[in-house]
């Protein structure tokens, strides 16, 4: 029996759709998501001030994506509707990152199987818990596959190289400044320059905040945090003759205060 003209096997069709999606995702800039001592940090190079790659979904749940903006924006809006309906119908605690990840996996898998073109997106759904053991990071690919990441995740662009640099530098219970330093080092090619502060999109899920845990870091607050990552301690000066040097852990000035500046807490409507 002869094959009809233009026939392609289902395996070949799936491979072609997967290759198409991977190439589209790789053209974007990478996004890094990692745990720190007080929650989960999101970092993405993004020159646009209007098109966000990082967003809030619900009280304890954040969303990050790479690929085609119009496609992952539809996923984000669908996730918000799902969370609002379930939180209103049942209880706000019933809205979980795992449930949202399962919803996205079902939709992505159905589109990949049934549509001519798969979505050119990769998504992270992160949920912050009461303790670090309750934190969860789920990475979803264009075909609906779900990966339960531990500690950190990287997607988009040169994701494998970025994940390798993250693995070398990541450690548990880092401070926010240290976690940001690790994320920026992972996102920067060896010998390359880091993106300026105006082209960085940074947000956290902070378990210490009341109610809504999502917080964007912008303006002077982000600049202060970046200054902490690049500052180096001054060289020690010898004490005057006859004086005993103070121990390293002795207080030498007023206690440090938290960074100040503009904060976008996600209350403004998405653009």
Residues of the chain with pLDDT under 70: 1-6, 230-271
pTM value? 0.81
Sign of the dihedral through C-alpha 102, 54, 188, 228: negative
52-87 residue pLDDT tens: 999 999 999 999 999 999 999 999 999 999 999 999
Give the pLDDT confidence score for residue 122 in this predicted structure: 97
Domain ranges of the chain: 10-231+259-264
Q: b or e along 44-69 (b: 16 or more beta carbons within 10 Å of the residue's beta carbon)?
A: bbbeeeeebbbbbbbbbbbbbbbbbe
Give the pLDDT confidence score for residue 8 in this predicted structure: 82
Give the pLDDT confidence score for residue 4 in this predicted structure: 57
Architecture of domain 10-231+259-264: 4-Layer Sandwich (3.60)
Give the pLDDT confidence score for residue 32 in this predicted structure: 97
Q: Are 155 and 124 in contact (CB under 8 A)?
A: yes
Give the pLDDT confidence score for residue 260 in this predicted structure: 39
Residues in the chain: 271
């Amino acid at each position: 029996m002869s094959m009809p003209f233009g026939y392609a096997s289902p395996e070949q069709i799936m491979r072609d759709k997967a290759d198409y999606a991977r190439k589209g995702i790789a053209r974007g800039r990478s996004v890094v998501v990692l745990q720190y001592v007080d929650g989960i940090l999101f970092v993405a190079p993004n020159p646009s001030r209007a098109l966000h790659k990082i967003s809030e979904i619900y009280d304890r749940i954040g969303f990050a994506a790479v690929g085609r903006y119009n496609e992952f924006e539809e996923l984000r809006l669908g996730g918000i509707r799902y969370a609002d309906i379930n939180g209103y119908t049942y209880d706000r605690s019933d809205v979980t990152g795992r449930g949202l990840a399962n919803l996205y996996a079902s939709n992505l898998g159905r589109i990949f199987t049934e549509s001519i073109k798969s979505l050119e997106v990769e998504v992270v759904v992160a949920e912050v818990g009461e303790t670090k053991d309750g934190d969860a990071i789920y990475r979803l690919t264009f075909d609906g596959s779900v990966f339960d990441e531990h500690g950190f995740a990287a997607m988009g662009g040169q994701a494998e190289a970025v994940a390798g640099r993250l693995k070398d530098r990541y450690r548990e219970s880092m401070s926010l400044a240290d976690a940001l330093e690790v994320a920026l080092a992972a996102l920067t090619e060896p010998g390359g320059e880091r993106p300026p502060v105006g082209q960085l999109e940074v947000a956290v899920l902070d378990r210490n905040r009341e109610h809504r845990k999502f917080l964007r870091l912008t303006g002077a607050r982000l600049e202060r945090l970046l200054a902490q990552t690049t500052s180096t301690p001054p060289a020690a000066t010898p004490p005057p003759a006859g004086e005993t040097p103070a121990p390293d852990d002795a207080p030498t000035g007023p206690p440090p205060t938290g960074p100040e500046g503009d904060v976008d807490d996600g209350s403004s409507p998405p653009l």
